[in-house]
């Protein structure tokens, strides 16, 4: 066998040999929105990295993270877009909403003011991403003595606005963090299946 033939033989007859993927992967775009300082970035870091960072900086514009999860024996990749909550970044958000499959809305349970603008966030997302599944989360519930927004109020807002549920969460203790993202992945997957059907 000539050197050239041997080389081709090792390459699979001149064709590149690629291992067949062992499983399909579904990719879903998830947006996380809410007022500045409510703990969106901390929530995402806790979910993606499993750690609590209390000193995160203000998100300038939009941040990005991703994580792969197994759901019903399917591999799902969540592309997580972290929206800066300050008013000055609001004008860029409609473009980032486009193509989103699901959303998490967050407010700070120790700061009633952070609830007041939730309707505006719902409107921005629905206007630019359509009627995608949205879950509401109340953050910082580990600060129970400072809580000013009750769980019932979060549940009422969720029902009134046609959202897909409400969760009390704590990025510090990890309470319900995985549950929220698992729920949102499940909702995005279900909606995508319906769309194909």
CATH number for the domain harbouring residue 190: 3.40.50.300
The DSSP output letter for 39 is S
* Domain assignment present for 19: no
pLDDT at 197: 43
* Domain assignment present for 2: no
Q: Where are the alpha helices (DSSP H) in 71-176?
A: 93-97, 113-116, 118-129, 151-160
Is the Cβ–Cβ distance between 191 and 101 less than 8 Å? yes
pLDDT at 162: 97
pLDDT at 32: 95
Q: Which regions in the chain score pLDDT beneath 70?
A: 1-24, 55-61, 85-91, 196-197
pLDDT at 132: 96
* Domain assignment present for 126: yes
pTM of the model: 0.82
For the chain, give the longest Cα–Cα distance: 80
Residue with tokens 């004008």: 91
* Domain assignment present for 18: no
Bridge partners, 136 (sequence order):
105, 166
Instruction: Express each pLDDT in 153-165 by its tens digit.
Output: 999 999 999 999 9
Tokens of 137: 């989360």
Instruction: Express each pLDDT in 85-118 by its tens digit.
Output: 666 666 677 888 999 999 999 999 999 999 999 9
Tokens of 16: 């590149």
End-to-end CA distance of the chain: 54
How many separate domains does the chain show? Answer: 1
pLDDT at 171: 97
pLDDT at 85: 64
Domain limits at 121?
Answer: 24-196
* Domain assignment present for 185: yes
pLDDT at 94: 84
* Domain assignment present for 104: yes
């Amino acid at each position: 066998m000539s050197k050239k033939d041997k080389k081709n033989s090792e390459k699979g007859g001149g064709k590149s040999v690629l291992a067949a993927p062992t499983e399909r992967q579904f990719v879903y775009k998830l947006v996380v929105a809410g007022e500045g300082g409510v703990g969106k970035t901390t929530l995402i870091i806790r979910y993606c990295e499993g750690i609590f960072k209390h000193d995160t900086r203000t998100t300038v514009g939009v941040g990005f993270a991703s994580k792969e999860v197994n759901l019903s024996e399917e591999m799902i990749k969540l592309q997580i877009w972290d929206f800066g909550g300050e008013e000055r970044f609001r004008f860029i958000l409609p473009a980032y909403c486009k193509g989103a499959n699901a959303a998490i809305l967050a407010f700070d349970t120790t700061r009633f003011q952070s609830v007041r603008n939730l309707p505006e966030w719902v409107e921005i997302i629905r206007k630019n991403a359509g009627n995608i599944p949205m879950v509401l989360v109340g953050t910082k519930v580990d600060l129970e003595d400072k809580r000013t927004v009750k769980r019932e109020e979060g549940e009422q807002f969720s029902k009134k606005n046609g959202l897909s549920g409400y969760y009390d969460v704590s990025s510090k203790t990890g309470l319900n963090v995985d549950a929220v993202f698992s729920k949102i992945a499940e909702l995005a997957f279900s909606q995508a299946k319906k769309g194909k059907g």
